[in-house]
Structures are given as C-alpha cells and as structure tokens.
Amino acid sequence: MFQATVSELSEGIISEPIRSDSGLHIIHVLAKRGGIEGSQTETKVRHILIAPNEIRSIDEAKVLAAEVRQEIIDGEDFTFLARKYSDDPGSALTGGDLGWAEPGTLVPEFETMMANTDINQTSAIFNSQFGWHILQVTDRREKDLSSELANQRARMAIAETKYDDALNNWLQDLRDNAYVDIK
C-alpha cells in the first residue's frame, strides 16, 4: 500500500497523510537502499534496406539508396517508399517500422547511425553487412529497468534454489544406492 508513496518520496521527506482501513498514516523517509536503479534509451525507428542481389550490385544498391533518400528529403512519404523499395522482409510491409529498438539489438553500424540521428530526421545512407540503409528516428524514450531487473534477479534466485534442490536429491540418491563391498 505504501510502496507507491515511498518510491515517489526523496530521503528526508515527509508524506501527506495516507488513509487506509486502519487509519491515517504519515511516512517519513529516512534513507533508501537496496533498490535496483537503471534505465536505457529506446529508439522508435524505421528503415529502408537496399540490398545487393543477383541483379543489383553493391554499387547499384548504393546509388538506389541515395535516390530513395533524396525522394524522402524532397517530401515523399517514407512509409510508401519503404513498401516500394525495402528489401527487408520483416519490415517492408509495415513501412519500414522496426518498433522500439533497445541498445544492443541491431548491428553496430545501424545503432551508431540511429544514435546520431535526431528525432524526425532522416539519416544519410550507410552500409552494413545486409546492404545500404536509410533510417528515420521517430521517437525516443527512457525505459525504467528497475522492476525488470528485480524480476530477473528473483527468477534467477528461484532457478538457483531449484538447481540446488535437484543436485542434493541426486546426490542423496547416489548415496542411497551406492553399494560398497568390504572384504
């Protein structure tokens, strides 16, 4: 009941009265410790991939990527162009939308360009192992990782306990079924 109030208060702060079934409560936060802190920046991004193939060389892919980027700069709809030109089967039909990308989930060249592109801006063309890309950052947000990290630690502790129990049971079975013949 008090968790939400305490998490909002800083050290040394006294809360407003809180009503519960058992009466009124006032909380004075003396110190905070043991919490899991952390956040990461997620980026909402869409892209167009122009990949080399049997018909298109890497140089031709680069020229086409530059032409498509110029169409975007000239005001053409990114979604339309992604559906028309993108060679990424996973995002072409959705207008190039990759959704919210977390750090470490994309190839390094893509992540670097994404980090250096402002919101609502179109990147320069860039190359990765997949071909030539054009990306557009549509939004950024900070994702709070504290509850996610706490849940992960709890799952790990449970798994470790189960492992220890299974190991102890196995060792006990070995001892129970061991036969030693002394002559």
DSSP per-residue string spanning 71-108: HHHTT--HHHHHHHH---TTTGGGTTEEEEEPTTSS-H
**Looking at 22-26, 110-114, 155-159, which range is the least confident one?**
22-26
Confidence at 33, pLDDT banded by 50, 70, 90: low
pLDDT at 178: 82
CATH code assigned at 72: 3.10.50.40
pTM above 0.75, yes or no: no
pLDDT at 136: 96
The token pair at 182 is 């002394």
Which residue's structure tokens are 């979604």? 79
- 183 assigned to some structural domain: no
Please tell me whether residues 73 and 132 are part of one structural domain: yes
SS3 45: strand
The token pair at 58 is 């890497």
Confidence at 103, pLDDT banded by 50, 70, 90: confident
Query: How far is it, in rounded angstroms, from Cα 12 to Cα 16?
Result: 13
Number of domains in the chain: 3
Domain that holds residue 70: 39-143
**Looking at 13-22, 31-40, 159-168, which range is the least confident one?**
31-40
Query: How far is it, in rounded angstroms, from Cα 111 to Cα 153?
Result: 28
Query: How far is it, in rounded angstroms, from Cα 29 to Cα 12?
Result: 5
Residue 95 has pLDDT above 90, yes or no: yes
Residue 53 has pLDDT above 90, yes or no: yes
Residue 16 has pLDDT above 90, yes or no: no
- 128 assigned to some structural domain: yes
Query: How far is it, in rounded angstroms, from Cα 110 to Cα 116?
Result: 10
Confidence at 32, pLDDT banded by 50, 70, 90: low
Residue type, 36: I
Please tell me whether residues 101 and 123 are part of one structural domain: yes
